[in-house]
Structure 1
C-alpha cells in the first residue's frame, strides 16, 4: 500500500447498542487506523461520524481512542457532521481537500465507501479493519441494504422530466466492480 496524506476513519459508536460493553466495530477501526499511522502509510487521520448531541459524539470518542493508542493529537482531525458515509466522503474531499484518502472501516462498509467515492471521481482506496463474523443466516440481510445504498448514493434520484442522471454513471454491478477491484487492502494477515 502506497503512503497517502490522510486516512478517513468512518464513524461507529464506542458502546454497543444494548449498552453492554464496547462496540468491536469501533475497536477494530481504531486498531486499523493506528496500524496505518504507525506504519507511515498515512500522515493524518480524519475521524468522521455523528454528533447527535452533547452526550453522543463519535469523532471525539474516536480521537480519544486514537490518542490512547499512541497517535499524536495534532495528527487527528475531527468531522462531526459525517452522518452518513456519503457525507463523510464529501466532507473529506471538500473541507479537508482529500482526493486520494484511505477509507478505514470494516470491509462491507469500506467497499461501499470506495465505490461511492470512485463514482464521484475521487481516487480513494480502502483498508478493511477486522470484522465481526456475522451469523451466516443474517449475513445476506446486511449486504442487501448496503448494495441498495451504494446504488442510490452514486446514481441519485432520476428526474422525471430529464432522462439524464444527476450524478456520473457508475458501473452497473456493484458486486462485479468490487470483485475486480485492485484498490482495496485487507488488514487480516497483512503487513502494513
Structure 2
C-alpha cells in the first residue's frame, strides 16, 4: 500500500513539475515572440520617429500612490508635446480611463498638454481606453486610425506595438523616457505577465474591448 502511495506521489510530483516547466516555457516563448515581432518598430530617441499624422498617448495616473508626480505620465506628455512641436505628429489621440467624476485620465492629459502649448484642435479624447488593448482596438475600429506613433515607455511599447500590428495599425513606438533612470521591478515583472496574457487575448480567447460604440473618425487637416 505504501509503495502505491509513494509511486502515486512521485507521478503527481513529476506532473506538477512538468506543468510548471511547460508554463515557464510558454511564458518565455510568448515574451520572446512579442519582443522579436516589434523590436524593429521601436525608436529609442522619440525625436527620430517617422512623421505620422496620429500619435496615440496612453493614459496613466498623473500621480503615484504616495502622491508624488508620476514620472511615466509626465514623460509621455513631454514626448507627445515635443513630437507635435517638431512636426513629427500632427494630431494626438489621448486615450485613458474615465472611471469617475474624480478620475479622468484623458481630460487630465488634455489640460496638461494645453499647458505645454499643444492646441485643442490637435487633440482628440478617447474616454474608454481602459487598457492598452482597448485603446488600440478603439483607435482602429472607432477612430479609424491606420497609422500611428505610440507614445509610452520602452517597457510598454513591445506589447502596445504587438497589439497594434494584430489590429491592422501600422505603428511605430516612440519611447518616452522619464528623467529618473531604471524601471521599477514590480512594473517590469507585471509587464512580462501582461505580454504573455496579450498573446492569449489575441490568439486564444479572442478578447473584445469593453466598449466600442459608433465610429468617430479623427478630424485631420
Please classify the TM superposition score into its range, dividing by the shorter chain length.
0.7 to 0.9
Q: Shift of the alpha carbon at 1:138? A: 4.9
Asked if the contact 1:116/1:153 (under 8 Å) is kept, the reply is no
TM-score (norm 2): 0.66
Which protein shows a greater Rg? 2
Aligned 1:91-106 pairs, distance under 5 A: 91-106=138-153
CA distance, structure 2, for counterparts of residue 139 and residue 96 of structure 1:
29
Structure 1: runs of 5+ lacking an equivalent = 158-165, 168-192
Q: Shift of the alpha carbon at 1:154? A: 2.3
Asked if the contact 1:14/1:26 (under 8 Å) is kept, the reply is yes
**Equivalence for 1:14:** 62
Q: Shift of the alpha carbon at 1:147? A: 1.9
**Equivalence for 1:146:** 194
Asked if residue 2 in structure 1 is aligned to residue 13 in structure 2, the reply is no
| Greater RCO (CA < 8 Å, at least 6 residues apart) | 2
User: What SS does the aligned partner of 1:44 have?
Assistant: strand
More helix as a share of residues: 2
TM-score (norm 1): 0.76
CA gap 1:91/1:143 in 2 versus in 1, 3 angstroms:
closer
Asked if residue 107 in structure 1 is aligned to residue 154 in structure 2, the reply is yes
CA distance, structure 2, for counterparts of residue 65 and residue 104 of structure 1:
15
CA distance, structure 2, for counterparts of residue 85 and residue 152 of structure 1:
14
More strand as a share of residues: 1
Q: Deviations over 1:45-88 (max 9, x none)?
A: 01000011000000000001111011001111100100010110
Aligned length: 157
**Equivalence for 1:176:** none
Asked if the contact 1:33/1:104 (under 8 Å) is kept, the reply is yes
User: What SS does the aligned partner of 1:50 have?
Assistant: coil
Asked if the contact 2:137/2:167 (under 8 Å) is kept, the reply is no
